[in-house]
Amino acid sequence: MTTMNWLKEVEKRQDELIFCAQEFLRIRSVLDPETAREGAPFGEGIRQALDYVLDHCRQAGMTVKDVGGFAGHAEFGQGEELIGVLSHVDVVPEGDGWTSPPYAAEIVDGKLIARGAIDDKGPTIAAIFAAKLVKESGLPLSKRVRLIFGTDEESNWQCVKTYFQSEEMPTMGFTPDADFPLIYAEKGLTDLTVRQTRESYERLGIPAADGAGAKLLSLDSGLRMNMVPDKAEARLAPLGMEADEIVRKYRAHLAETGLAGTADLADGQVLLRMEGVSVHGMDPGKGINAGTELIHFLASLPLDARAQQFVRFTESYLYRQHYGEAIGIAHHDEEMGPLTLNTGVIAYDAEGEALYRLNIRYPHSLPYEKWSRILQERLAEAGFALEVVEHLPPHRVDPQHPLVTTLQRVYTEQTGQEAGIIAIGGATYGRSLDVGVAFGPLFPGRPDSAHQRDEYILVEDLIKATAIYAQAIYELAK
Ligand SMILES: [Zn+2]
């Protein structure tokens, strides 16, 4: 048997491929609770997009199933084992500032521009065409192939959660919803809320403002756990210290450190602002955390007892502690890199709660139970309580697993490039499969336009990705 030239097969049908991608991209499949109903839990746009792909696959002779509008699938082939290809038909809202209308799906300079072009409707069409090519090639398969279409990947993943409650988990599979060559490992993700306990600071004899230079009234920094905050603001009431003195000290601190910020007086109170550098919380060391930097300054003031306890805790355990070193949870993994700790939100209210919202990402070689117990102990000693808001365990497929080695080989054969495998601190759709990796569609070196204005996929890359997916499906299912 001669080997298939998958790229040539895709090129023969490239007009149809582009036409379908355009039709599909013209459906505004944004989450819309207003039009949600039974069978369309995320609204009409997403329902229409799901219908589009299921109809297309039905016409191609695949067996399709709609799982309550939460997700759907299309299957062909035969055998015990099941190969899954998981993509999603929903998109994030378009926003403004587009140079080409977000749902026109125009081709400009070789770019197919539309919301969803690269994330993830373009790749969804690539996967469907790839599957059709394999099916129509008549090459014998020993496994079943199932395209699975999720519908709320951009919000809560309710789609895959619901789908896999009733449907078969593929033996192995991939998701075309991230980067080439291949993402095989993703850190565990935790969102935590850490609160100063009332009993701990009441024990300190609050208000106990006697002798304090100033009382910390409030401090606010950050909005999301997974971002390094670039703004922080603190309000202080001068007690033993003059307001002017605090302002002067702060300005001197800014000058000395080169940090950006302001100090103002308002109604006898002091308002301090700090500016930092916001980056994604998966790599907090690359940013400047405005919140912990501002608290670092506050540590030089004689504050009221409750604030002092809060400030001291921040100083000891969070200030420039991007890897949890002082808490005692630092861990470096050869493959997946270090545990990272991001202090995404700080909120202190002298009349109410004082808390941090933390995002901790950890490699698979460090058990969750181990680091979370150490953290819990440290917090308890310091008078803080821990609440786990969300926990996603690490996801990893063995680099020697045939899924990984097969996709690496396919990528190299199709592109002539070496297929290094990637471990990341983020989360891809690949982790919804028990044995799943992310495989494209963004080629190395290409700018990532997902979620941005003028989102696009290069037509050339769409075609190349389709050929890669066709060979991948065939090699995994043969
Ligand atoms: Zn996506």
Beta strand 340-349 pairing with 214-221: antiparallel
Residues 226 and 162 in one domain: no
Residue 354 within any structural domain of the chain: yes
Q: 399 CA distance to ligand 1 centroid (A)? A: 23
* CB atoms inside a 10 Å sphere around CB 271: 17
CA–CA gap between residue 281 and residue 441 (Å, rounded): 24
Q: What percent of the chain stands above pLDDT 70?
A: 98
Residues 57 and 150 in one domain: yes
Helix-helix angle 14-25:121-137, to 10 degrees = 140
Catalytic residue, chosen from 119, 152, 153, 275, is 153
Quote the Cα angle for 104-147-27, to 5°: 20
Q: Known catalytic residue: 90?
A: yes
Q: Determine the Cα–Cα distance for residues 282 and 359; give it in Å rounded to an integer.
A: 8
Structure tokens at 226: 């997974």
Q: How far is the CA of 326 from the centre of ligand 1 (A)?
A: 36
Whether 299 and 275 share a structural domain: yes
At position 266, the amino acid (one-letter code) is A
Token pair 């099941």 is found at 82
Q: Which domain-ending residue is among 392, 413, 445?
A: 392
Same domain, 161 and 258: no
Residues 300 and 407 in one domain: no
CA distance 294 to 290: 6
Ion ligand 1: residues, CB within 5 A, are 119-120, 177
For residue 180, give both structure tokens: 């080439």
Residue 225 lies in a domain: yes
Q: Is residue 363 part of a domain?
A: yes
Encode pLDDT of 127-145 as tens digits.
Answer: 999 999 999 999 999 999 9
**Residue 88 C-alpha to ligand 1 middle, in angstroms?**
7
Q: Name the residue among 392, 377, 290 with its Cα closest to residue 327.
A: 377
Q: Please indicate, yes or no, whether residues 86 and 119 belong to a single structural domain of this protein.
A: yes
Decide if pLDDT at 332 tops 90: yes
Do 215 and 275 reside in the same domain of the chain? yes
**One-character DSSP codes across 314-343:** HHHHTTT-TT-TTTT---EETTTEE-EEEE
Number of domains in the chain: 2
DSSP state of 155: T
114 pLDDT above the threshold of 90: yes
Overall average pLDDT of the 20-35 stretch: 98
Residue 1 located in a structural domain: no
d(CA 447, CA 271) in angstroms, rounded, equals: 40
- For the question of residue 153 being annotated catalytic, the response is yes
Output the pLDDT for position 112: 98
Rounded to whole angstroms, the Cα distance separating 15 from 450 reads: 24
Say if residue 313's pLDDT is above 50.
yes
Q: Round the average pLDDT of the chain to a whole number and report it.
A: 95
- Span 59-102, pLDDT tens digits: 999 999 999 999 999 999 999 999 999 999 999 999 999 999 99
What is the arithmetic mean of pLDDT over 113-129? 98
**Nearest residue to 469 via CA among 46, 120, 168, 159:** 120
Residue 110 to residue 431: CA distance in whole angstroms: 32
Tokens of 48: 């229409």
What's the pLDDT score for residue 209? 52
> How far apart are the CA of 87 and the centre of ligand 1, in A?
8
Residue that finishes a domain, picked among 359, 392, 425: 392
The beta strands (E) that lie in 363-445 are given as: 384-392, 395-396, 421-424, 436-438, 441-442
Shared domain for 59 and 136, answered yes or no, is: yes
Q: Please, where are the H alpha helices in 38-95?
A: 44-59
CA of 121 to the centre of ligand 1 (A): 9
CATH label of the domain that carries residue 300: 3.30.70.360
Encoded amino acid at 315, one letter: E
Tell me how far apart the terminal alpha carbons of the chain are, to the nearest angstrom. 14
Distance 120 CA to ligand 1 centre (A): 5
Cα 141 to averaged position of ligand 1 atoms, centre (Å): 29
For residue 167, the 8-state DSSP code is S
Q: How far is the CA of 148 from the centre of ligand 1 (A)?
A: 14
The bridge status of strand 82-88 relative to strand 144-150 is parallel
Residue 53, in any domain of the structure = yes
Q: Give me the domain span that covers residue 293.
A: 188-392
pLDDT band at 1 (very low <50, low <70, confident <90, very high): very low
Phi, psi of 170 (to 5 degrees): -55, 150
Does residue 55 sit in the same domain as residue 160?
yes
- CB under 8 Å to 471, separation ≥6 — which residues? 4, 6, 410, 413, 414
pLDDT at 2 over 70: no
**In a 3-state reduction of DSSP, which class is residue 111?**
strand
**32 in any annotated domain:** yes
115 vs 26: CA distance, rounded Å:
9
Among the options 90, 119, 191, 304, which is catalytic?
90
- Rounded Cα–Cα distance for residues 154 and 159 (Å): 10
Helix boundaries (H) for 86-197: 121-137, 158-166
Domain edge (last residue) among 392, 422, 457: 392
**373 CB-near residues (< 8 Å, 6+ apart):** none
Which tens digit of pLDDT belongs to each residue from 396-445? 999 999 999 999 999 999 999 999 999 999 889 999 999 999 999 999 99
| Same domain for 195 and 90 | no
Q: What is the pLDDT of residues 32-48, one digit of tens each?
A: 999 999 999 999 999 99
282 and 236 together in one domain? yes
Q: Where do we find the tokens 């759709």?
A: 429
Q: Which two tokens stand for residue 67?
A: 């799982």
Do 424 and 396 form a contact (C-beta atoms < 8 A)? no
Q: Is residue 244 domain-resident?
A: yes
Taking residue 398's Cβ as centre, other Cβ atoms within 10 Å add up to 12
Q: Would you say residue 448 has pLDDT above 60?
A: yes
User: In terms of domains, do 278 and 138 share one?
Assistant: no
